[in-house]
Protein backbone atom coordinates (compact mmCIF):
# COMPACT_ATOMS: atom_id res chain seq x y z
CA UNK A 1 0.00 0.00 0.00
CA UNK A 2 1.11 3.57 -0.66
CA UNK A 3 1.76 5.59 2.50
CA UNK A 4 1.06 9.32 2.58
CA UNK A 5 3.00 11.54 4.99
CA UNK A 6 2.09 15.17 5.64
CA UNK A 7 4.21 17.82 7.24
CA UNK A 8 3.94 19.59 9.49
CA UNK A 9 1.34 17.86 11.66
CA UNK A 10 0.30 21.25 12.96
CA UNK A 11 1.19 24.86 12.44
CA UNK A 12 0.19 28.27 13.69
CA UNK A 13 -0.12 31.23 11.36
CA UNK A 14 -1.63 34.68 11.26
CA UNK A 15 -4.41 36.01 9.10
CA UNK A 16 -2.88 37.22 5.85
CA UNK A 17 0.09 34.87 6.02
CA UNK A 18 1.19 32.55 3.24
CA UNK A 19 1.16 28.90 4.28
CA UNK A 20 2.48 25.75 2.66
CA UNK A 21 1.65 22.17 3.63
CA UNK A 22 3.61 19.26 2.23
CA UNK A 23 2.51 15.74 1.36
CA UNK A 24 4.88 12.94 0.40
CA UNK A 25 3.94 9.58 -1.10
CA UNK A 26 5.93 6.41 -0.43
CA UNK A 27 6.07 5.75 -4.19
CA UNK A 28 5.20 7.67 -7.30
CA UNK A 29 1.55 8.61 -7.74
CA UNK A 30 2.10 10.87 -10.79
CA UNK A 31 -0.49 13.62 -10.17
CA UNK A 32 -3.21 11.51 -8.52
CA UNK A 33 -3.23 13.67 -5.40
CA UNK A 34 -6.20 15.39 -3.77
CA UNK A 35 -6.45 17.91 -0.93
CA UNK A 36 -9.32 18.28 1.52
CA UNK A 37 -10.23 20.79 4.23
CA UNK A 38 -12.13 19.68 7.31
CA UNK A 39 -13.58 21.86 10.03
CA UNK A 40 -14.63 20.46 13.42
CA UNK A 41 -17.86 18.48 13.27
CA UNK A 42 -18.11 18.82 9.50
CA UNK A 43 -17.47 16.55 6.53
CA UNK A 44 -14.29 17.03 4.50
CA UNK A 45 -14.45 19.43 1.59
CA UNK A 46 -12.56 18.81 -1.65
CA UNK A 47 -10.20 21.71 -2.44
CA UNK A 48 -7.77 20.44 -5.06
CA UNK A 49 -7.83 17.34 -7.28
CA UNK A 50 -5.24 15.93 -9.66
CA UNK A 51 -2.53 17.75 -7.71
CA UNK A 52 -3.27 21.25 -9.04
CA UNK A 53 -6.86 21.53 -10.26
CA UNK A 54 -9.03 23.81 -8.16
CA UNK A 55 -12.43 22.36 -7.29
CA UNK A 56 -15.36 24.51 -8.39
CA UNK A 57 -16.26 27.15 -5.83
CA UNK A 58 -12.94 27.02 -3.97
CA UNK A 59 -11.24 30.42 -3.61
CA UNK A 60 -8.15 30.95 -5.79
CA UNK A 61 -5.97 31.64 -2.75
CA UNK A 62 -5.74 27.85 -2.54
CA UNK A 63 -3.33 26.19 -4.95
CA UNK A 64 -1.65 22.82 -5.31
CA UNK A 65 1.49 21.68 -7.02
CA UNK A 66 3.76 18.69 -7.38
CA UNK A 67 4.07 15.37 -9.14
CA UNK A 68 5.65 12.01 -8.51
CA UNK A 69 6.06 11.75 -4.75
CA UNK A 70 6.17 15.34 -3.45
CA UNK A 71 3.23 17.72 -3.33
CA UNK A 72 2.31 21.03 -1.72
CA UNK A 73 -0.85 22.87 -0.81
CA UNK A 74 -0.41 26.63 -0.58
CA UNK A 75 -2.79 29.19 0.88
CA UNK A 76 -1.60 32.54 -0.41
CA UNK A 77 -3.24 34.80 2.18
CA UNK A 78 -4.87 33.12 5.16
CA UNK A 79 -8.43 34.08 5.97
CA UNK A 80 -10.17 33.43 9.30
CA UNK A 81 -12.30 30.70 7.73
CA UNK A 82 -9.20 28.77 6.58
CA UNK A 83 -8.28 27.59 10.05
CA UNK A 84 -9.04 23.89 9.83
CA UNK A 85 -7.39 20.50 9.31
CA UNK A 86 -6.08 19.64 5.85
CA UNK A 87 -5.67 16.15 4.42
CA UNK A 88 -4.00 14.87 1.29
CA UNK A 89 -5.15 11.66 -0.41
CA UNK A 90 -3.64 9.60 -3.20
CA UNK A 91 -6.00 8.18 -5.81
CA UNK A 92 -3.32 6.50 -7.92
CA UNK A 93 -4.06 3.01 -6.78
CA UNK A 94 -6.02 0.90 -4.36
CA UNK A 95 -6.46 1.64 -1.46
CA UNK A 96 -6.63 5.44 -1.83
CA UNK A 97 -5.00 6.36 1.47
CA UNK A 98 -5.11 9.70 3.28
CA UNK A 99 -2.30 11.52 4.97
CA UNK A 100 -2.51 11.94 8.73
CA UNK A 101 -3.64 15.55 8.49
CA UNK A 102 -2.24 19.01 9.20
CA UNK A 103 -4.01 21.17 11.76
CA UNK A 104 -3.79 24.86 10.92
CA UNK A 105 -4.34 27.11 13.93
CA UNK A 106 -4.52 30.85 14.49
CA UNK A 107 -1.40 32.49 15.87
Partner 1 sequence: QVQLVQSGAEVKKPGASVKVSCKASGYTFTTYDFSWVRQAPGQGLEWMGWISAYSGNAKYAQKFQGRLTMTTDTSTSTVYMDLGSLRSDDTAVYYCARAPSVAGAPDYWGQGTLVTVSS
Residues forming the site for partner 1 (CB under 8 A): 32, 34, 36, 38, 43-46, 49-50, 55, 87, 89, 91-101
Least Cβ distance, residue 45 to partner 1 (angstroms): 8
Residue 54, H or E segment: strand 53-54
Q: Whose Cβ is closer to partner 1: residue 7's or residue 77's?
A: 7
Q: Whose Cβ is closer to partner 1: residue 74's or residue 103's?
A: 103
Handedness of CA 40, 5, 22, 12 (dihedral sign): positive
Cα of first residue to Cα of last residue in the chain, in angstroms, is 36
Least Cβ distance, residue 15 to partner 1 (angstroms): 26
- Return the SS3 of 82: helix
Q: Whose Cβ is closer to partner 1: residue 6's or residue 69's?
A: 6
4: left (phi over 0), alpha (psi -120 to 50) or beta: beta
Least Cβ distance, residue 95 to partner 1 (angstroms): 5
Least Cβ distance, residue 56 to partner 1 (angstroms): 8
- Return the SS3 of 81: helix
Amino acid sequence: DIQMTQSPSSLSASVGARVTITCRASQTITTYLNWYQQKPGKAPKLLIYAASSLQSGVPPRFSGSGSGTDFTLTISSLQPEDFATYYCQQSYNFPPAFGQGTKLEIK
